[in-house]
Structure 1
Amino acid sequence: MQKTRAMVYADRLYNCADGKTAHGLVRFSKRFDVVCVVDSTLPHGDAAWFLDQKKKGIPLLNDLEEAFNKTRPDTFIIGAVSEAGMLPKGYDKAVDWALSKGLDVVSGLHQFLSDDPRYTRLAKQHHCTITDVRKIFRDYRRFYTGDITKVPSLRIALIGTDSAIGKRTLAVLLVEELHKRGRTADMIFTGQTGWLQGWPHGVVLDAMINDFVSGGIEGAILDSWKNLHPEFMIIEGQGSLVHPFFPGGFEILTAGQVHGFILVDAPKRPHLDGFSAYPMPDPRRVVNIATLLTEKQLIGIGINHEHMSKTDIISLKATYQQMFQVPVLDPLTEGVADLVDALEAMNYPTK
C-alpha cells in the first residue's frame, strides 16, 4: 500500500479521548504517512511523545499554515470528533482551508462532508477529493451464513469496560508482537480508525444497517482467511457491553465465533465516557457477561493507565492477577509479551 503524506487535525482535542483517531494514526498507520498533528492549544513537540513518551518524529504543531509549509502534506485528516460523531465546532474553517490548499480531505465522522455543497464545490475547484469513511460501509449488505465455522484461525476479541479505552491500540500491539515472533496475524477492524490505519479486513459497524452487522463481521473474517490465512485474528472491540450509549461488542463476540477474549480496563476512570452519572462497571461483571455470551474464557487484561501512578499500576496488577488468574499488563509501558505468550499457549492453531 503506497502511503500518502497526511496532516492530522485535532485542534483542542488531541489531549483527550475525543482525539482518539489522531492518537491511533500517530501510533500506527499503513495507509498514511502521518507527517504532523495540528492542535493550536498545545506546545510544539513530538506527537507520539505527547501520548506515550516515545518519539516517532511526527511534529505536533499549532498552526495550519506553519504545518503545511513545514511538512507538505497531500491529505488532511479529521483526527477528532464531537458528540454524536459530528464535525467539532470551528473545524469547518479548517476543512475550507484544506480544500483551498488542494488537499484531499478524509473524515471518519457520521457527518458526511461530501454531502455538503460548499465542500464539494471547493474540492472540484481545487482538484481534490473528500472521503467519508463511514459512507464506504453505509450500504454494505451481507447476511450471516455460518461459513465462519470453516475458518481455522484462532479468533480473539478485545472488549472493554468502557468506550475510548484502548481496545484498538491493544489489538494493534498484539498483532505486531505476533509478527515479531514469526506468527501470521491480522487485525479485524470494526471502526473507522482501523480503516484509516490501513488494516485490509473489517467493517465500520456503526455505519451499517443493524441487520447486516453480523454478516459484515463474518465477511471480514472470511476475507482475511481467504487472503492471508492468518494463524491469529485479533478482532477490534467497540464500545462496551454495559455502556448505555455505546453498547458494542455483542455481535463481535457472537458473529465472530471467538475462541477467547481480552479485557481492557481503566481502573482510575471515574465514570463511563461521556456520562458522568454512570460509574465505571466492575470488570468482573463485564467478564461474566462475555463468558456467558461466548462460553469462552478471559485470556488476559490490558490496563489503561490514565490517572494512575507507577505504584497504582503495580498494586492494581497484583489485585487483578489474584482476582482473575490471567496475565495483566499495561501495554503502553511494558508491552504485550505476556498476553501473546497466553495466546500461543492455547495451542490453536498449530504453527
Structure 2
Amino acid sequence: MAKQIKQIDIQLTTQKKEKPQQDKLGFGVHFSDHMFIMNYAADKGWHEPRIVPYQPIVLDPAAKVFHYGQTIFEGLKAFKTSDGRVLLFRPERNFARLNRSNERLGIPAIDEELALEALKALIAVDQDWIPTEAGYSLYIRPFVIATQPALGVDASTHYQFIIILSPVGNYYPEGVNPVKIYVENQYVRAVRGGIGAAKTAGNYAASLKAQETAKEKGYSQVLWLDGVHQKYIEEVGSMNVFFKINGTVYTPALSGSILDGITRSSIIQLLRHWGIPVEESVISIEDLFAAAKNGELEEAFGTGTAAVISPIGELNWQDEQVRINGGVTGEISGKLYDTLTGIQRGIIPDPFDWMIEVEI
C-alpha cells in the first residue's frame, strides 16, 4: 500500500512487528515498523524522500562511510501525553545542528523543513510505537551516511539521509541516581578545530576505549579533559556537564570541541528562568577538585537527550576520589529532571514554546 503526503511517498508494511512489553524496552534495541530514507546524488541533489518498511541497508563494500567515517547523526525524542497528544522536544534545533555537522563533514545540507515534515509523517505512521508510561519515550535517530563506492580520501558524491525510531525506557536502568565518574588522563576526545562540535561517529568511537577502562575500574562514565593541556573540563561521556559551586552553576563554554547540546541550552534557560546564576566558562579539573575539598562543590550532573539529567555522585582523578552532595541526587538536579521531563510529557506548562505537537 502506498500513498503520498506532499513530497513524501509512503509505503506501508504488510508485516507489522510484535511490539515489546514496555518494561522490557531497554534503550535503543527495538525499532518501529517503518523508516524514512532520502537519497543524494551530486547531479540531482537530495531526492526521493520516502517512508518504507524498516529494512536492512544494502551498500557496496567500498561505500565511503565504511572507510573514511563520513557520517553524522542526531538524537531526539517524541512523547505521548495522558490525553493522547504526541509532542516533539525542540526538533528544529536538532535539524539545525544536523546541518552544522553536515557542513563540518563536507556533506550537503538537508532542507530542515522537509526533514521535520518527514519526521512528523514517520511518527504519524508509527504512532502506536510511542510508549505511554512515565519515563518512556520514542527515541528518534536521524543520520546521514556516505554511500559512494570509491576508495579515495575525498567527500562522497552520494549519500542517504535516514530516520529510524526506537521505543525506549530509561537510559540508565537504575533511573535518576548519581553515577560514579572517572576523569580520563591518557586519552583525549577532541581538540579545537577538530570534529568535537559535530555529532559524528568518530567522536564516539574515540571514546570507547576510555569508557571501557573506566567501567573496569567500577565507574559509569568518563569525564573528558581538553585535548591540548588535559586540564580543562569538556564533557562527561557523551553529555554536557554542569557543576554547582557556591550557589552558581558552571558549565564549560562552547569552544569548538564541545557539542552544543540542546538539553544543555534548555537547562541553562531553565536555571536563568529560576533566577539561578549560570556561567559558561573555562573550568580546570584542579579548581573543581579544590572546590570539592573545600565543601564548595554542591552538585554535578550531565545533560543529554538520552538520559536528560544524570547526577554525578563521585569523581576519581589521578586515584583521588571526591564525593559530591553525599553521593545522592541534588536538589537542583532533581528539580531540573522533573521540570524538563514534565514539560516534555505535557504535564506542566511550557513557558518557552519548546514542544511541537504532531498532527495524528
User: What TM bracket, shorter-length normalisation?
Assistant: under 0.3
Structure ranking higher in helix proportion: 1
**TM-score under structure 2 length normalisation:** 0.26
* Structure of greater Rg: 2
**TM-score under structure 1 length normalisation:** 0.27
